[in-house]
Amino acid sequence: MKKYILTFGCLTLAAFMSQALELTVTPGSLQSDMPALVNTQDKSLILRGSANVTDLALLKHLSRSVTTLDMSGLRIDPYVYTEGDYYGIKNFEAGEIPPYMLTGSAVTIFKFPETVTKIGESAFAGSMLRTMNVPASVTSVGDYAFSDCIRLSGIRFVSAPEFGKGVLKGCPSLTTVDFVEAIPDIPESMFDGCASYAAAPSEDIVSIGAYAYRGTAVEKLDLFKVEKLGDYCFADMPLLAEVNIDLSHEPEMGKGVFYNDSTIGILPNWEGVLPALSLAYTAGKQKRSFSFPVIGEAALANNTEIEYVALSSSVKEIKAHAFGNLSSLTQVDVNELGSDMPEVDPLAFSGLENSEGRYDIILNVAKDTNDTWQAHPVWGLFDIRNMNTGVGGAVEGTALNITITRNAGTVDIMASQPIDYAGIFSIDGTVLHESRPGVERHGVNGLDDYEVLLVKVVSGGKQKILKLR
């Protein structure tokens, strides 16, 4: 009995120790080792010697028992297909990892050949990699090379290779990407669907490709040098709250850049076009004043919280559905425009019509311009009024009967009629409070940190703005 137990123990230990399969190959020889590659129960595979694409292409059949693949001692030779090709490629260079080499594999740890130069399309897509260190010798990374790696938490690029699109797309566990050398551009779909990735692009980034950060956890963007923003590059980002853009050189913007960003706050105006779908389906408190010469198709459609829109004299055209389905919209202020009406598509305010085809929305126009706006086929459908603005209580027309006072961190507003709107801003324009009280007295607390405040009150068809210390 004792001898049997000892023997069993030795066998168990031997089986435990035998966890690595090591193969020394020559170009074209790995085919003969296919049974071992497919059927091995070893957890590690070590490849030594020399191989070419015909060998490496076989690794997609690797046993799922293998979780570590060490190719650090392997040289990858060039190869030219004289007949046929591999995924449409006939000529493979030295050091090139072929497309789809480990797609869907169970490998969690991978060691690159020391002389690797290129990583092919989808080479590691859908694998179980946890971390990855891409060596300095790599000059290019193909489309979707590490996409859909659901366990990949971190990756390091020692050099600045040429990236294809979607290199890290769909990696939900990704939190860390280390670019040892700075890169000027973020390629198309680079972090698309990386829900845990919260690192914003560096301030030196010049171009951000389409869908590059869609669905990420980034909260703030400082786009001071950016020149181009691709379609939907920051769409579907639930935590994005702040965007800063250097308006001295406005970026070229694609459509839907901030599409469906539910918490985005103040977005600066620039002198160019607000592209189609740029802020559609957002729910955050947007800056209410727009100075874009052109407000694109569905640019702000389906925003659920915008109550007040002011159009500056810079606005020249409003396209279809630009303000469609703004369910909370109660006032459009065109006072600054005077009688210079922007071109407006008949569907610019689609979904807001009442049963009579009109808009139950106040259109605040400049004094003595009512008839001009009333005659317009679109603007004439609004409830046209005059809300003349004064400063420090000096208001044209009848007395406002609005009193605004401050005691330390508290602002009190009293009016002779219900307060339609109350807004409190810091001196730099930051929104501190906005509401539509609907009562004649309204108080706001918690403003102790601000030496100077700007208070805007609308009541009884009049508007009052006051600076408070």
- Domains, the chain, ordered by start: 20-183 (3.80.10.10), 390-468 (2.60.40.730)
Q: 3-class SS at 133?
A: strand
Q: pLDDT-based confidence at 116, cuts 50/70/90?
A: very high
Q: pTM here? A: 0.76
Cα separations in angstroms, 152 against 123, 133, 171, 192, 378: 14, 12, 6, 14, 53
pLDDT digits (tens, 9 = 90+) for 219-250: 999 888 899 999 999 999 999 988 888 766 77
Q: Which amino acid is at 377?
A: P
- 105 pLDDT exceeds 80? yes
Q: Which of 311-315, 370-374, 463-467 has the lowest mean pLDDT?
A: 463-467
280-334 pLDDT, tens digit each? 888 765 546 788 899 999 999 998 788 889 898 999 999 999 999 998 899 999 9
Contacts within 8 Å (CB) and 24+ apart, 233-239: 233/208, 233/209, 233/257, 234/208, 234/258, 234/261, 235/211, 235/259, 235/260, 235/261, 236/260, 236/261, 237/213, 237/261, 238/262, 238/263, 239/198, 239/263
Contact predicate 238/263, CB 8 Å: yes
Element (H, E) at 33: none
In one letter, which amino acid is 244?
A: N
Residue 176 has pLDDT above 60, yes or no: yes
pLDDT given at position 17: 44
| Per-residue model confidence (pLDDT) at position 153 | 98
319 within 8 A of 297, measured Cβ to Cβ: yes
The pLDDT score that the predictor gives to residue 39 is 94
Lowest mean pLDDT among 37-46, 81-90, 381-390, 405-414: 381-390
Q: SS3 for 365-431, per residue?
A: CCCCCHHHHHCCCCHHHCEEECCCEEECCECCCCCCCEEEEEECCEEEEEECCCEEEEEEEECCCCE
**By three-state DSSP, how is residue 359 classified?**
strand
The Cα-based distances of 101 to 42, 48, 68, 104, 439 in angstroms read 19, 17, 14, 9, 69
Q: What is the pLDDT of residue 1?
A: 37
Mean local confidence (pLDDT), 261-270: 70
Closest-CA residue to 261 (of 322, 292, 303, 204): 303
Nearest-5° Cα angle at 53, 47 to 58: 65
Mean pLDDT of 170-196: 96
| Spatial distance between the Cα atoms of 426 and 408, rounded to a whole number of angstroms | 15
**Amino acid, single-letter form, for residue 143:** D
Identify the weakest region by mean pLDDT among 171-180, 188-197, 300-309.
Answer: 300-309
Question: Side chain identity at 149, as an amino acid letter?
Answer: C
Has residue 392 got a pLDDT over 80? no
pLDDT in tens, 130-172: 999 999 999 999 999 999 999 999 999 999 999 999 999 999 9
> 426 - beta bridge partners?
453
Which tens digit of pLDDT belongs to each residue from 10-59? 333 334 445 889 999 999 999 999 999 999 999 999 999 999 999 999 99
Structure tokens of 70?
């060490």
List the one residue out of 234, 293, 285, 245 whose CA is nearest residue 264: 285
Task: Share the mean pLDDT of the chain.
Answer: 88
List the 68-76 sheet strands across, edge first. 20-25, 44-51, 68-76, 109-111
